[in-house]
Amino acid sequence: MPVYNQSRKNVIRALFIAVICILGLRLFYLQIMEKKYRLLATAQAIQRKTVYPTRGIIYDRKGRAVVNNDALYDLMVTPSEVKSLDTAYFCSLLNIDIPTFRTRLHRAMVRNGPVRPSVFAPLLPQDVFGRLQENIYQFPGFDLVERPVRNYPFGVGAHIFGFIGEVDSNVIKRNSLYQAGDFIGITGLEQTYEPILMGQRGVNYVVRDVRNRIVGSYENGTYDTAAIAGKNLHLALDIKLQQLGEELLHGKIGSIIAIDPQTGGVLTMVSSPEFDPNALKGAEKGNNYIKLLRDPAKPLFNRAIQAAYPPGSTFKPLDALAALDLGVITPAFGISCTGAYYGCGRVMHCTEHWAGHSRDLRTAIAWSCNSYFADIYRKIIDQRHNVVAGLQSWKKYMNAFGLGQRLGIDLPHEGTGNIPDTGTYNRLFGKGHWSSCSIISCAIGQGEVLETPLQIANAMCIIGNHGYYYTPHFVVSVDNDSSLLSPFHIKHTVTHIPDEMYQVVVNGMEDVVKQGTGRIAQIEGISVCGKTGTAQNPHGKDHSLFAAFAPKDHPRIAIAVVVENAGYGATYAAPIASLMMEQYLKDSIPSGPRTELMKRMKNTTILPQYLLDEMKQMKAKDSIRIVKKERREKAREVAVNWKP
């Protein structure tokens, strides 16, 4: 028994000695060998600096950098380390007052805690950065961190590229990849391709002396991690075409969108009024954003993919294709039109009065005969004497053409437009109380039919391709790797309409430009197929529309142009579309009449009266606001200088 007890004591002693040895060895390793933890123990001498990655560069179709990066600096603060600060001198360097200093410091503590660095002053102007850089060692707790910011060398494409902004607490909670001070894509391609563009943060450890000056990297950078730059995007966009489009729509409200029918690549997208994307970067970004937000013309609204317009007569070729495929007409079908349609007990005026402009489908398209398309629309709706089945059949064709639904472009917030269904008219008229005459305005792209300019341009791709399209998209490849974009390579065959039916419609659209309502859109040496549109607008003058593709065979560009409150389609939309197509197909606009036309389009201002009234009211309010501000500043100055 004593031997057993002695043995047990020895085992326990051995265990204690083993544990003590293990702990001692571990302590020796942590304190002597492992230098990483020494870094944490000497935080007052060694500082952890975040290295922000450069976002991926965006290139156009010809390899031109349309979005790249500049280097600015954020002033960071770690509140717990702010001690013995000459606040007055610090504020003078930043051009702020002491209450602002206290507010920002308190906000940093609330937002990110006292021991973690937060942004005190973002994206410093160069003069402020220069002053701070020379004196930063005097301000413990503050540090300058380089921040790559976006630069837009061409000053166009704001609605395409979007902009970036600092993440908020909700983003940080949802995604652990972000921390306070990080930037994220807010709109446009910056938002859609954020995971690709963002890159990965790095960390540098630097050593400071007793005067808070950086004297070098810690352990020669052994524990540093390099920032990884974001991947680059390569677009189908032609930046020179984009510049021309924005110039042509300057002083107007509307949009232009052009697509390569063979690939679905978006060549240009203009939403007017535009703004310089450089306005939403740097220290003045917030103030500029507020100005854009208050602008009654709504420059932040992307009309090319979000606005829904009555398509007017640009819609007629789609009606024609549906009627042909359903067999309710043949290409030779014609009617006698004397300038108006009387078939529904009320007059629908036509664009032409001369005999023969509706003798067959091709001629009716060329001269945009309202009577002809009202007649064939009624034939579609009234087929088999069942308006419900007829409308459902018509809607099925329109949905197949990409209308009434999102196409899936790689930009956020795309609109759907509207193709009405039986439920729409049951609500408007009551079930069983409507007929083809009740909804006859749909025949000519009015009434409840609404399309986005993107949908109009995509419909031109379908017609030009004789029945198929690719999902419209901007990004062609990511660092020359297109495998990430496979959904955009899928060929969508919309319906099985025979090729010869498409050919009849294409021939009619060719005649529109050769001899019909769109003659102003002619381009020397190129066969253009187009369709003018004049869309009624309850809020003012009609909208001017034009949709086209060129060349006729194997088209390389399909385009839709909308100019709000500009009247007939041939007046502004058609010439603008023609100039855009010529620039793309020929890479220049020839001197002479075409140059003069271009100058006239650029120099013409068309703003609706309601907008002019709103702008006038806003200007008056701004004047009052400025006067009140000046009075407050004067009163403050008097109060400061007053002596009893």
Locate 171 and state its tokens. 């983003």
What is the C-alpha to C-alpha distance for residues 399 and 505, in angstroms, rounded to an integer?
19
In this predicted model, what pLDDT tens digit does every residue of 460-510 receive, in sequence order?
Answer: 999 999 999 999 999 999 997 777 899 999 999 987 899 999 999 999 999
Q: Is 451 helix (H, G, I), strand (E, B) or coil?
A: strand
Q: Is the dihedral of CA 461, 462, 467, 470 positive or negative?
A: positive
| Residue 54 DSSP code | P
CA angle 90, 96, 101 (to 5 degrees): 70
Whether residue 594 has pLDDT greater than 70: yes
pLDDT at 5: 62
Which are the contacts of 583, defined by CB distance < 8 A and separation ≥ 6?
A: 240, 241, 244, 589
pLDDT digits (tens, 9 = 90+) for 21-35: 888 787 777 666 665
- Least confident range from 66-75, 104-113, 527-536, 612-621: namely 612-621
Residues 6+ apart with CB under 8 A from 302: 159, 271, 411, 413
pLDDT > 70: percent of the chain = 90
Residue range 582-602: average pLDDT?
95
pLDDT at 634: 58
Express each pLDDT in 121-169 by its tens digit: 888 888 888 888 888 888 888 888 877 789 999 999 999 999 998 888 8
User: Once rounded to an integer, what is the mean pLDDT over residues 619-640?
Assistant: 58
Residues 317 and 511: beta-carbon distance below 8 Å: no
pLDDT on residue 538: 75
Q: What is the pLDDT of residue 577?
A: 98
Which region among 134-143, 253-262, 439-448 has the lowest average model confidence (pLDDT)?
134-143
Q: What is the mean pLDDT of the chain?
A: 88
Q: How confident is the model at residue 319 (pLDDT cuts 50, 70, 90)?
A: very high
Predicted confidence (pLDDT) per residue in 349-391, tens digit: 887 777 788 999 999 999 999 999 999 999 999 987 899 999 9
Q: Answer yes or no: are the C-beta atoms of 509 and 365 closer than 8 Å.
A: yes
**pTM of the full predicted structure?**
0.84
Q: Which of 572, 496, 473 is nearest to 266 (CA)?
A: 473
More confident residue, 58 or 29: 58
SS3 214: strand
Maximal CA-CA distance, the chain: 129
Helix axes 239-248, 593-603, angle to 10 degrees: 70
At 4, the pLDDT band (50, 70, 90 cuts) reads low
- CB burial string 567-599: b at 16+ within 10 A, e below: ebbbbbbbbbbbbbbbbbbeeebeeeebeebbe
Tens of pLDDT along 228-252?
889 999 999 999 999 999 999 999 9
Q: What is the pLDDT of residue 51?
A: 79
Structure tokens belonging to residue 336: 């006698």
Give the residue-averaged pLDDT of 552-575. Answer: 96
* 463 Cβ contact partners less than 8 Å away, ≥ 6 residues apart: 317, 321, 502, 505, 506, 509, 529, 549
Phi, psi for 546 (deg, rounded to 5): -150, 135
Only one residue has tokens 């793309």, namely 584
Q: What pLDDT score does 124 carry? A: 85
Query: What is the pLDDT confidence band of residue 40, given thresholds at 50, 70 and 90?
Result: very low
Q: Which of 424-428, 533-537, 599-603 has the lowest mean pLDDT?
A: 533-537
